[in-house]
Amino acid sequence: MKKTLIASAIAAATFSGAAFAADGDMSASELAAKMDSMPSVYGNIQYALVYSDVKGGADGIDHRDNGSTLGVAHDHAIAPGVTGFFKLELDGFGADEKDSTGANIDEAYIGVKGDSFGQVWIGSDDSTYERAIDTIANFYEAADLSIGGSYDTGEGDLIQYASPSFGGLTLGAAVQVNGDSTTGGKSYPYQLAAIYAVDNLELAVAMDSNDGTTEYSSDDADVNNENTYGVRASVALDALTLTGEFQTRKDVGDVYGVQGVYSLGANQFALSYEAFAADNDGVDNDTITVQALHNVSDHMYVYVEGYFGGGDDNAYGVADESEASVAALGAVYYF
């Protein structure tokens, strides 16, 4: 399927270029403008070799597709200062296996944006809360033991809005439209966020109403309808970026996270600590993650990551045990 999509895109671009050239009096600048109006095609292939071990339980090594994608994006001027845009991104190719069954939609949305009113878009995309708060768990490549926030509103059926910057303050909102055919019935969970950026400091607060009937991007029943609240602070100190997060949901638990990322030329080094403190009779767990990443070129990077997990007994599904570890070696080529 990937080869067909790429070949179709190349054929379309070639045919369009030939048609433009056939227009006789078209100048080089006009031809360039026509080509600039064509959609952008991008993608990546991601592979990872992963070893995992749960104390007292299973261990093993696996080679996997770590999220290869192929996407198309386009925007155009609707009126002075107003732009329309769309994006379609596919993943789930299973690029590590010859008999992969094909791709899934990861992101698909359309919208409009302008300097005076911000932007509004509808479809499937990272949610307002996720972008504002849940950055540490989403930072890593393998993310096998990462601890994300306990929010239920997923990435599909979203209507989202992001305001222009008011002196560094940006506001965001989202509502998920779950119709009658949705598992559990009709619902309209929503999210609100505020992000303030000044100089090298960024502060964010957000909430998720969790009013849907299913868990994050799934058909499983949600935990409860209590709100999730989150705060994040990030500061850039030249080559070093520090981030701290806190997220809480009543009768579920609290998530804490701290991270440091250091850039040195073509190299990046990251260290983080994440912890989940459960309410009631839940199981606590935590994770220390380290990463070393090297940019081989403008289109390729390699990395190694290590995850060291601990917590209460049965934190990883084994009675009287509470340790797990993951080592990942990966490579990504993107264009």
Query: CA-CA distances (angstroms) from residue 217 to 97, 128, 151, 156, 303?
Result: 25, 14, 10, 7, 28
Listed range (185-194, 198-207, 215-224) with the worst mean pLDDT: 215-224
A 10 A CB-CB count for 77 gives 9
Class for the domain spanning 39-334: mainly beta
**Main-chain phi, psi angles of 77, to 5 degrees:** -80, 120
**Closest alpha carbon to 191 in 254, 146, 274, 129:** 129
CA distance 190 to 77: 30
Six-digit token pair at 239?
């080559």
Residues 6+ apart with CB under 8 A from 207: 129, 191, 192, 193, 227, 228, 229, 230
CA distance 217 to 313: 29
A 10 A CB-CB count for 329 gives 15
Residue 333 has pLDDT above 70, yes or no: yes
pLDDT digits (tens, 9 = 90+) for 84-140: 999 999 998 899 988 887 789 999 999 999 999 999 999 999 999 999 999 999 999
CA distance 21 to 320: 72
pTM of the model: 0.88
Going by pLDDT thresholds of 50, 70 and 90, the confidence category of residue 182 is confident
Going by pLDDT thresholds of 50, 70 and 90, the confidence category of residue 28 is confident
Going by pLDDT thresholds of 50, 70 and 90, the confidence category of residue 286 is very high
Rounded average pLDDT over 20-45 = 76
CA distance 321 to 202: 39
Going by pLDDT thresholds of 50, 70 and 90, the confidence category of residue 24 is low
